[in-house]
Amino acid sequence: MSEIRVQIRHDEGEARARNVTEGTTAADVLGGDRSVIAARVDGTLRDLSHPVQDGNLVEPVLASSEDGLAIIRHSCAHVMAQAVQELFPSARLGIGPPIKDGFYYDFDVDRPFAPEDLVRIEERMRAIVQTRQLFARREVSDEQAREELATEPYKLELIGLKGATASHDDMMSVEVGADTLTIYDNIDPANGQVAWKDLCRGPHLPSTRHIPAFKLMRSAAAYWRGSEKNPQLQRIYGTAWESKGSLANYLHLLAEAEKRDHRKIGKDLELFHFDPTAPGMPYWLPKGLRVLNNLLAFWREEHEERGYQEISTPLVNNKRLWEISGHWDHYRDNMFIIDNDDEEPSYALKPMNCPSAMIVFNLKTRSYRDLPLRLSDCDPLHRNERSGTLHGLLRVQKLQQDDAHIFITPDQIHEEFQRIFDIADRFYKIFDLDYKFRLGTRPESYIGDAETWESAEATLLSILDARTGGDYEVENGGGAFYGPKIDILMSDALGRPWQMGTIQLDFQLPRRFGCVYTDEHGQRQTPVVIHRVIYGALERFLGIYIEHTAGAFPLWLAPVQVSIIPVAPEYVEYAHKVADALHHAKVSVELDARNETLGMRVRVAQQQKVPLMLVLGAREAQSGTVSVRRRGERTLTTMDLGLFVDRVASAVRARVDVELPPDAG
Ligand SMILES: [Zn+2]
Ligand SMILES: [Zn+2]
C-alpha cells in the first residue's frame, strides 16, 4: 500500500503533517477522542469513516461545535424517521434537516400525530440508539436510488430536483447535494443487516450511540416544500445536544422563556391585544398605552433637552415621494399601497420617516450655522410583512420608532456620534440593560464613492475605539447600502442577544432630495444625514423589555404604580383619600375594594407586578399613615401618608426607585 501525506490541524492551531497509508480514514488520523464526531476535510464536512487523500487538510469536528451539533441533530432526525416508519409502516418520508437548537422530519401519514404517539416514537428512538446502529454512506446512481426508494414518492421528487434546487434551497439540499446521490444505511451491528435507510448527503455520526441527549418537542402540519398547493405533511420537531447537561439547560431556558413570553404577559397584565382583523398591528389597552406613553415622555424630555425638534408628517404620501427616495423601486413590496379604482396605485402608507424629514429640511435656505439640525419624529409607520414572519410585538406591521434625522456637515460626524452615544448610555442605563456596539461596514452592493465610505468608516472606528476601549464588534459588509452604521446590541436576562437601536450615516438620501446648505465660504454643499433610533421600534423594545423583566417594570414605567388594598369595608373611605392624594401627585393608582379576601387581593396585585402595595386598616386610618410593601418583598413599612406621596411622586418624576424609611411601626 502506498503512503500519502496529510495535514492535521486541531483548534485552529498549526497544521502538522503526517504520513499514513492509503485508505486511512479521518477517524484514524484524528485519534480516538470521543468528543470528535466528524471531520472537516479540505473545508468540507465528512463522516469519520471518510478515507483521506494525499494532500488533505483534516480537522476534527467536536460534538459541542455548531457543525457538530448540526450533525448530531440531523442524525437524530434519521433515528426519529426510522422509529416512525417502524411504528407507522405506511408513513412516507419528506425531509429531515437540522434547525436552530434541534431538528424536524416531515411525514405523510394517515392522521396527525397525537402526544401519545410522540412518547412511543421517543421510546423507540431510545431503543435504536441503544442498538448502536452504524450510519454507513453509499454512493448510488440516480437509477439505483429511484429503485431503492420506489415507495417514497417525495424522495423520488427530490431525486428529480437534484442540482436544480439543491444549490439554493438549504432545507432540500440536506437530502440531495448537487453531486452524486448518496444513501445512508443504518446497519445493526448484531446481524450486519440494514435496519433502515435514507437518501441523504450526510455527513452523519459514526453510530446512533453517539447521540447523547435528545427529546421530541411537538408536531405540526407542514406543506411539502412549503407550498399550499402541495400535500400537507405532519412535522415532528425534536431537540438534541452533545450532553445531558446541555439538554437540561436548554429545556430550562425554554421553560423560562415561555413564562416570560411577552404575548402571555401582555395578556395577563392587559397591555395589548392583537386582533385577527389587523394582523401585526397592536391594540394598546389602557395599561399598555400608559407604558408606551411613559417611554415616549422619557424620549421627548431627553431629546428636547439635547436640541432635538420634534415634527410630525403625513402618514400617507403620493408615490412621487417614494420614487425620489428610492423606496418605490427597492421597498415597494413592504409597503401598504392604496389602490385607486381607475388609476394606477398612487398613494402609500409611510414605512419610514426619512423622506419627510428631507422635505422639512428643504423648506428653508440652510447655512452651516444651522447645523446640526436635529429633527425627531415618532409617527406611526406601516410595513407590509409576510404573515408567517409576524411575532407578537417583536415583529409587527404597525410601529412607532424613536426616530430622528440629523443634518450635519461632514466634520460634525465625530461630535454628533458622541452626543448620540451619550443618549444611548442614558437610555440603556435607566432600563438597567447592558449593551454593546457593532459597526457595519460597506456592503457588497453600495452607492456612493469608496473614498467617502472609507473616511466615514475610519471616523466611526476611532469614535468606537475612544468610547469603548475596543469593546465592540465589527460586521464586515453589515452597513446599509447608503452608508456605514452602528447597531446597539444587548443580551437579556436569559442571555438571548437582541439588536436594538441603530445609528446610520447617509450620504445618499440628502443628495436624492437635493438638500443643500451654504458652507463658510459661501459654497453650496450637501449635508450628511444621520438616521438614528435608540429604542428602535417602541413595540419591539417593549416586547423585549417585557421578556427581560418578566413584566416587573420599574416604578416610573409601570402602568399601575401603587395598588391600594383596604383590609375591610370600613376603611374604603380612607383608601379613597389615599388614592386621591396619589392621583393628584400624578402617581397611577388602582384601588381594589372588591368583596374578596385580603389574601386574594394581595395575590392579584402581586400577579399584576405592581411595584408598591398599600395595605390599609384601622391603625393607618386613625394615624393618617400607610403600610407599604414593595414588589417581591414580605416586610411592611409604615409611614406618614404625606411623606409617602412626596417620596413616590418625586421618584416617579426622577425615574428612580423610591426610598422608604426603615420600618418605624
Ligand atoms: Zn441524513
Ligand atoms: Zn431615516
Higher-confidence residue of 14 and 214: namely 214
What is the rounded distance in angstroms from the CA atom of residue 394 to the CA atom of residue 386?
14
Catalytic residue of the set 531, 532, 540, 548: 531
Beta bridge partners of 489: 436, 499
Any idea which ligand is nearest the CA of 529? 2
The one-letter amino acid code at 532 reads R
The pLDDT of residue 33 is 82
Higher-confidence residue of 595 and 179: namely 595
- Look at residue 402 and give its three-state secondary structure: strand
Catalytic residue of the set 235, 383, 540, 601: 383
The pLDDT of residue 164 is 52
Question: Is-contact 491 458, C-beta < 8 A?
Answer: no
What is the rounded distance in angstroms from the CA atom of residue 104 to the CA atom of residue 221?
12
For 475-500, what is each residue's pLDDT tens digit?
999 998 888 999 999 988 888 889 99
The CATH code belonging to domain 272-315+350-549 is 3.30.930.10
CA of 73 to the centre of ligand 1 (A): 10
pLDDT cut 70: percent of the chain above it: 96
Could you confirm whether 584 is annotated as catalytic? no
Q: Within 10 A of 435 (CB to CB), how many other CB atoms are there?
A: 18
* Cα first-last separation, the chain: 92
Mean of pLDDT values over 61-82: 96
CA of 425 to the centre of ligand 1 (A): 48
The one-letter amino acid code at 132 reads R
Question: Is-contact 530 418, C-beta < 8 A?
Answer: no
Say if residue 169's pLDDT is above 70.
no
How does DSSP assign 222-279, residue by residue? Answer: EEGGG-TTSPEEEEEEEEEESSHHHHHHHHHHHHHHHHT-HHHHHHHTT-EE--TTST
* pLDDT-derived band at 174, boundaries 50, 70, 90: low
Choose among 86, 18, 107: nearest CA to 55.
Answer: 18
CA of 110 to the centre of ligand 1 (A): 24
The pLDDT of residue 57 is 94
CA of 74 to the centre of ligand 1 (A): 6
- Look at residue 108 and give its three-state secondary structure: strand
For 530-541, what is each residue's pLDDT tens digit?
999 999 999 999
The CATH code belonging to domain 66-256 is 3.30.980.10
Beta bridge partners of 644: none
Outline where 394-537 has alpha helix (H). Answer: 413-430, 450-468, 509-512
CA of 324 to the centre of ligand 2 (A): 14
Beta bridge partners of 57: 7
Could you confirm whether 47 is annotated as catalytic? no
Any idea which ligand is nearest the CA of 510? 2
Mean of pLDDT values over 106-124: 96
Mean of pLDDT values over 206-226: 94
Question: Is-contact 396 282, C-beta < 8 A?
Answer: yes
Mean of pLDDT values over 260-283: 96
Any idea which ligand is nearest the CA of 93? 1
For 290-303, what is each residue's pLDDT tens digit?
999 999 999 999 99
Catalytic residue of the set 76, 200, 354, 515: 354
CA of 436 to the centre of ligand 2 (A): 22
Q: What angle do CA 632, 635, 638 make, to 5 degrees?
A: 120
Outline where 565-611 has alpha helix (H). Answer: 572-584, 598-607
Mean pLDDT of the chain: 92
What is the rounded distance in angstroms from the CA atom of residue 225 to the CA atom of residue 309?
51
Say if residue 176's pLDDT is above 90.
no
* pLDDT-derived band at 74, boundaries 50, 70, 90: very high
Any idea which ligand is nearest the CA of 356? 2
The pLDDT of residue 168 is 45
CATH 3.10.20.30 fits 3-62, yes or no: yes
Say if residue 170's pLDDT is above 70.
no
Choose among 555, 565, 624: nearest CA to 591.
Answer: 565
Any idea which ligand is nearest the CA of 77? 1
Neighbours of ion ligand 2 (CB under 5 A): 354, 531
Q: What angle do CA 161, 166, 169 make, to 5 degrees?
A: 115
Domain ranges of the chain: 3-62, 66-256, 272-315+350-549, 562-654
Could you confirm whether 200 is annotated as catalytic? no
Could you confirm whether 303 is annotated as catalytic? no
Any idea which ligand is nearest the CA of 72? 1
Catalytic residue of the set 234, 401, 561, 608: 401
CA of 205 to the centre of ligand 1 (A): 10
CA of 123 to the centre of ligand 1 (A): 21
CA of 391 to the centre of ligand 2 (A): 24
Say if residue 623's pLDDT is above 90.
yes
Q: b/e map of 203-231 (b: 16 or more CB within 10 Å)?
A: bbbbbbebbbbbbbbebeebebbeeeeee
CA of 355 to the centre of ligand 2 (A): 8
Q: b/e map of 473-483 (b: 16 or more CB within 10 Å)?
A: eeeeebbbebb
CA of 236 to the centre of ligand 2 (A): 42
Could you confirm whether 583 is annotated as catalytic? no
CA of 294 to the centre of ligand 1 (A): 52
Catalytic residue of the set 50, 162, 485, 532: 485
Could you confirm whether 576 is annotated as catalytic? no
Any idea which ligand is nearest the CA of 532? 2
CA of 204 to the centre of ligand 1 (A): 7
Q: Which CATH superfamily is domain 562-654 in?
A: Anticodon-binding domain (3.40.50.800)
Choose among 242, 244, 224: nearest CA to 234.
Answer: 224
The one-letter amino acid code at 473 reads E
The pLDDT of residue 166 is 45
* pLDDT-derived band at 237, boundaries 50, 70, 90: very high
Left, alpha or beta for 307 (phi > 0: left; psi -120 to 50: alpha)?
A: left
Could you confirm whether 531 is annotated as catalytic? yes
CA of 427 to the centre of ligand 2 (A): 20
pTM here? 0.80
CA of 642 to the centre of ligand 2 (A): 47
How does DSSP assign 48-84, residue by residue? Answer: TTPBP-TT-EEEEEETTSHHHHHHHHHHHHHHHHHHH
Say if residue 280's pLDDT is above 60.
yes
